[in-house]
Amino acid sequence: MRTVLCSVAFSLAFLTAGQAADLVEPVYVETGDLRLNSFDRTGFNAVLFAGGGFLTGSDSLGSDAFFRSGQFGGSIGYDHQFNQFVLGASVEGSLTNFRGISSSGNYRQSSDWLSAATVRVGYDVGRFMPYLSAGVGFGNYEIENVSNGSSDENTHVGYVLGAGIEANVTDQIIARVDYKHYEMGEETYTVSGLSPFTVDGKADMFNLGVGYRF
């Protein structure tokens, strides 16, 4: 009798386990390689960025300058995608705080803003897009005689070369790491206490940006 009861109990347990297994369906978790997700990058975009960099300058009097500054600005642009290649154009402007004084202590130098109009070409590798950029750059520069307040200011114009990586955080939100090199042309300055002289400069700026693609 005991043997029969054990056999019945074992059979019921086996059937119950089998039915439970039939009721539980396997759960599949979809995983995706972020590098392979495709995004259409055609459209307008707006980006806010912040960072900093270096400004170097030299003048015809034989003096050199080296300044550091933070940077904050924004850009608007448009991109069009052709298969895996992306062509775009943008304009940007930023505030800077480059400040310095001559070795004699008599002349203060400063630069308060930079801007650029560039085109770029990128290569779509999924969620990420490395790119190269080039265009025209603009920046102001001021030299002031500390003793009497005499000053002269110019807007320097030159070319810009850059590179970066852009990533799609979502379909609309983008993140960007960007580098630009500004090569500024000469301008003539006339400041009290000095003969007229020319100044040229270079700037290297590194930025992180967050934007929206419309």
> Per-residue pLDDT tens for 11-70?
444 444 444 444 444 443 444 455 556 678 999 999 999 999 999 988 898 888 899 999
DSSP 126: S
Output the pLDDT for position 26: 40
106 touches 78 (CB < 8 A): no
Region 179-200: mean pLDDT is 94
> pTM for the full model?
0.80
Of 121, 137, 126, 41, give the one whose Cα is nearest residue 89. Answer: 121
Residue ranges of domains in the chain, CATH in brackets = 43-213 (2.40.160.20)
User: How far, in Å, CA of 88 to CA of 213, rounded?
Assistant: 13
